[in-house]
Structure 1
Amino acid sequence: MSPDQIVVTVIGLAAIAFIVWFFWLGKRLGVKVAVNSSGYQEAMVLVKGGYTPDLIIVEKGKPVRLNFLRTESAACSEMVMFPDFNKSAHLPEGETVAVELMPNQPGEYEFQCQMGMLRGKLIVED
């Protein structure tokens, strides 16, 4: 192998390792949601190339209101779905849409766009 081929191979392997770490092994920071004065655990979720935050921690047995604000025009982000709660919502660009849930069981519940490309997770704790 020539020195150029070795350098290209090493750079390629480093890029693959970074991609694997970033998408699958990187630890995501979750947002723990507090109960507001109206009794809801409420959080704002920005929809732009993904969900921010994409990991939301709530308490079981208390209602949750997630306010989604979509700031992009990509077709994939037009809808958010919560399959475990049998809920979905259309997200018009530039508008805030509230999705209300009642998490009665602890666990991890995924939410996603209709194509499954944008993903988030709702963690329900005791």
Structure 2
Amino acid sequence: MRRKSLFSRFAARAAAIMGRAPVFGMAVAAVVVWAASGPFLGFSELWQLTINTGTTIVTFLMVFLIQNSQNRDAETVQIKLDELLRAVERADNRLLDLEEMSEKELAKLRREYEALAEKARGEVGRS
């Protein structure tokens, strides 16, 4: 197995840590402390700028970590589904790499499968 890149390892570890309840609790605590400090700091512009800047930076960085994590998850699920389709003898192998098809090709396949579903519903109704 190839080693994951430094960023991939960092992103996976950071996403795992940031998705835990204690980290959420710390974020809530930080907001509570910030809100409670408002009256003591006169609800100043600096007080408001502190939370705005902090949340903007954290959000900006987390978007990249979350996107990396979602991209990896989606890719692995697609590979697993492709393997299942390949391994099942009667499966429609046109569905392999479905995510690479054009919108036109996807629409055509969707119509085919909708027709199959309609036919199956009709057969169930007659039983």
Give the TM bin, normalised by the shorter chain: 0.3 to 0.5
Higher helix share: 2
TM-score for the superposition, normalised by structure 2: 0.32
TM-score (norm 1): 0.32
Give 1 or 2: higher strand fraction.
1
* Higher alpha-carbon Rg: 2
